[in-house]
Structure 1
Amino acid sequence: MSQEAPIGVFDSGYGGLTVLKELVQRLPQYDYLYLGDNARAPYGTRSFDTVYHYTLDAVKWFFEQGCQLVILACNTASAKALRTIQQNDLPLLAPDRRVLGVIRPTTEIIGKYSETREIGILATRGTVASDSYPIEIAKFYPDILTYQEACPMWVPIIENNEMDNAGTHHFIKKNLHNLFQKGDNIDVILLACTHYPLMLKQIREYVPVQVKLLTQGEIVAESLEDYLQRHPEIDEKCSKSGLVQFFTTDAAEDFDEKGSAFFGAPVKSKHVSM
């Protein structure tokens, strides 16, 4: 086994850095390799087939870098591509390697937070259109009603650092109003896009105090720790020297500037072509 076998963390752009941040904090001993497909972002508005092919490209790239385990830290990729990759591609490409997503770990535990049994999902159009969250939540918690609201303006607002202007607050209020119109007894809202934690403070202003807001980074990190404990055959293949590397399919300088806000620390990336 090669000495370099980092855990791959993939996102269409910057959002997955909020997940990587929590992974590094909880499991600092592992090596990580992050790839943002910024040149082809956003994924949220693209077709299922396009997202699948883009994500498969990335998975193949991670495997070429020696990754034995890849985390799709992107809700859209998890919703539109993960199952096909797991069922159709992995058995042919690398049956001994693993690709995991962010939806299942979240849906496995989300019911523990709700007393009213009504949950709201804020996400991209692609994730909402996939119905992945209602389907998966129903498997674990058939008594829960799940309501979704697509927030197409939120990602560009966050990536352009416009979280505090009047227009942003208009869209937050509008989307939350729409969500509560669908389910007025919601007591848990999941921010089902890894960008959204950067706007948590602004979102909180328009959510009743008794409603819990959940982000995915800590959930995914805890789930990965549990997964590696349950699968020592995967864990022993992952290299552990505390090295974190960043790659982007777009301009490295732009990625570093914006990415540091998502990661919570300076980012130094390299460009890679897909």
Structure 2
Amino acid sequence: MQGKAPIGIFDSGYGGLTVFRSIADQLPEYNYIYLGDNARSPYGDHAFDTIYKYTLECVEWLFAKGCHLVILACNTASAKALRTIQQRDLPAKYPDRRVLGVIRPTAEVIDQYTTTKQVGVMGTRGTVNSQSYLLEINKFFPEIQVYQQSCPMWVPLIENNEHLEPGADFFINEYCNQLLNQSTDIDCVLLACTHYPLLMPKLKKVFPDHINVLAQGEIVANSLADYLTRHPEIEAKLGKQGERHFYTSGDPAAFDAHASIFFGEALKSGKM
């Protein structure tokens, strides 16, 4: 319907709420539906076909809710499912719908944050093994050297609200040091998982002051604003009543209890 459609924001769990927070702050007038696939998270260690299947199911659910535009606010889904959905599923079944990810917008601007042209990428195993950031960054900036580090313990620590406790320090220091040991000239570290901004207070203490530690929320929000300016045919379909609705495939009470840590305010979710 003209002027009624919400923007869909999808994540495998809670992490996408950090991106949603930045989007809502920059573009508060639009209607949004957030979906967290908490019943099947984390996605990071799943096989490609499984991640694609889960992501497509959630995207189609958001389409059924009236979304014409869906943001995959999940690095793993963006790395392993977005291209197939864009190239195969949308043309065949949903030619008037659009699905965007978080990898390309970040890759397009990464050169603004590095002087040495040596960038570290920290993410889940799924994101790192996909090589998506390496490929996308080198597509735009072949002169940039990309070093990757998987951090499999970070998401469980964050989702169990243990990330700021002293017990988390070992795993934070371990992965950061493993990345820095790959090159002494890294001057920008990209947090390529939407959970990781919650670790920012500790990461700022671990990394030297000259290293830019980069979260994706503001970058993705800027990219979305630019996209809507360039695609008025999509923007015209979007509702602007400032409504926000949250859904989870898991237990809504459990989702609500954890989600405020990521979104920065209390919220009430429904069952997918």
Aligned to 2:152: 152
Q: Distance in 1 between matches of 2:219 and 2:164?
A: 27
Equivalent-residue separation in structure 1 for 2:224 and 2:164 (angstroms): 33
Distance 2:244 2:170 in 1: 38
Per-residue CA shift, 1:63-103, capped at 9, x if unaligned? 10110000000000000000000000001121111000000
- Could you say what secondary structure the match of 1:182 adopts? coil
Q: Which amino acid aligns with 1:259?
A: A
> Hey, what does 2:21 align to over in structure 1?
21
1:124 maps to 2:124: yes
TM-score by length of 2: 0.99
**Separation (CA, whole Å) in 2 of partners of 1:43 and 1:184:** 31
Counterpart in the other structure of 2:171? 171
Distance 1:221 1:2 in 2: 23
Aligned 1:1-274 pairs, distance under 5 A: 1=1, 4-272=4-272
The 1-side partners of 2:141 and 2:114 are apart by 11
Percent identity, please: 56
Determine the C-alpha separation between the residues in 2 that align with 1:34 and 1:59. Answer: 11
Distance 2:11 2:46 in 1: 14
CA contact (8 A) 2:111 2:141 kept: yes
Tell me how far apart the structure 2 counterparts of residues 2 and 101 of structure 1 sit (CA, whole Å): 24
Q: Name the TM-score, length of structure 1 as normaliser.
A: 0.98
For the Cα contact (< 8 Å) 2:2–2:238, is it kept in 1?
no
User: What is the CA-CA distance between 1:2 and the residue it aligns to?
Assistant: 5.6
Secondary structure class of the residue paired with 1:176:
helix
Decide which moves more: 162-171 or 174-183: 162-171
Number of equivalent positions: 272
Query: Could you say what secondary structure the match of 2:181 adopts?
Result: helix
Deviations 1:194-251 (A, max 9, x none): 0011110011111000000100000000000000000000000111100000000000
| Partners of 2:202 and 2:157 in 1: CA distance | 12
Residues 2 and 66 in structure 1, CA contact (< 8 A), matched pair in contact too? no
Q: How far 1:182 sits from its partner (Å)?
A: 1.0
Displacement of 1:3 in angstroms is 5.5
Q: Would the aligned equivalents of 2:5 and 2:67 in 1 still touch at CA under 8 Å?
A: yes
SS of equivalent residue, structure 1 residue 129 = helix
- CA–CA distance in 2 between the matches of 1:9 and 1:164? 27
